[in-house]
Amino acid sequence: KNQVEQSPQSLIILEGKNCTLQCNYTVSPFSNLRWYKQDTGRGPVSLTIMTFSENTKSNGRYTATLDADTKQSSLHITASQLSDSASYICVVSLGNQGGKLIFGQGTELSVKP
Amino acid sequence: NAGVTQTPKFQVLKTGQSMTLQCAQDMNHEYMSWYRQDPGMGLRLIHYSVGAGITDQGEVPNGYNVSRSTTEDFPLRLLSAAPSQTSVYFCASSYSNLGSYEQYFGPGTRLTVT
């Protein structure tokens, strides 16, 4: 079954600290992996999109990694800010079925002052 | 560019009522889709469209209808609302559903069915 699992479910960190969110997937065939940020009451916003051949991609303080062999991805947030408080969603796109997206449940990140 | 817009932002319905959730995009995207987001679950695809006049079912289509008469608009109709349809609904658009094209999401419609 095509699944995307994220951990931890929730995380609390202090402002200025770094953190890493994990994503494991059992999706086949694989097309690409995406990380989204979803602020409370808003729609998801794309952070990164990585294809099979890319193993790291950055967007400002956000760095995503992809290990296609172990089917794992991580999102590293550097020097966290209060505005980083949000849900972070890992999404894998299928290589067939019209590029169907398989969504993870998200990691709820809270950054405290 | 306004991006993807959705109306209304909030809606309360009684069981059995019908309504239409509106979605529009001004980016000339061919691919549009509707998702629902429920607590503790990932977003689930309801219906999608790869272009004007073409629609297809996603993984949870029951109780919903869609049409795509123009590239810009993709309304979602609830035929006879049920409490199980209480959810947050997101419309999204993309240049294509294939490849690594970015998906743009609307702000969502929070629907409560009593």
pLDDT of B1 higher than 80? no
Label residue B100 by pLDDT band (50, 70, 90).
confident
pLDDT of residue A98 exceeding 80: no
Measure CB to CB from residue B42 to each of A46, A100, A104 and give the nearest one: A104
pLDDT of residue A99: 81
Residue B40 has pLDDT above 80, yes or no: yes
- Nearest CA to CA, how far is A81 from chain B (Å)? 23
Residues of B in Cβ contact (< 8 Å) with A98:
48, 50, 97-98
Tens digits of per-residue pLDDT, B50-67? Answer: 999 999 999 999 999 999
E strands present in chain B = 4-7, 10-13, 19-25, 31-37, 44-51, 54-57, 64-66, 76-78, 87-94, 104-105, 109-113
pLDDT given at position B27: 96
Which of B25, B36, B38, B43 has the most A C-beta neighbours within 10 Å, making it the best mutation to test the interface with A? B43
Quote the minimal CA–CA distance from A33 to chain B in Å: 9
Nearest C-alpha in B relative to A40 = B107
Q: B98: pLDDT confidence band, cut at 50, 70 and 90?
A: confident
Q: Chain A: residue nearest B89 by CA?
A: A43
Model pLDDT for residues A36-60, shown as the tens digit of each residue: 999 999 999 999 999 989 999 999 9
Nearest CB to B97: which of A51, A98, A102?
A98
CB contact under 8 A, B102 and A49: yes
3-state secondary structure of B106: coil
Residue A57 confidence (pLDDT): 96
User: pLDDT at position A82, please?
Assistant: 98
